[in-house]
Amino acid sequence: MKLILAVLPEKAATLASDRLVAQGYRVTHLASTGGFLRRGSTTLLIGAEDERVETALRLLREARQQIRGDPGGIAIVLNVAGFERF
């Protein structure tokens, strides 16, 4: 299992989140500021099985490309040692 941390402008994050949820991904939004974007942005936490990571990254890229004028985004893919839902 992987955890994708995606930092995007707010509009792109909303679009990406809607598309990810429609494909069955679980997504958590965190408001964030600073770093390379130097302004308000949204960090998405996306849990994905290994074989679904590339699809999630594609959906993130496509959403970002549809929103013009905002700075770009980044995605960091991390290994998850354990996961528990309660």
pTM of the predicted model as reported, rounded to 2 decimal places: 0.88
Domain 2-79 grouped into CATH 3.40.50.2300: no
Task: Report helix, strand or coil for 32.
Answer: strand
Give the pLDDT of residue 69: 66
How confident is the model over 6-53, as pLDDT tens digits?
999 888 999 999 999 999 999 999 998 776 546 678 999 999 999 999
Query: What residue ranges do the domains of the chain occupy?
Result: 2-79
Q: Residue 62's closest CA among 23, 26, 28?
A: 23
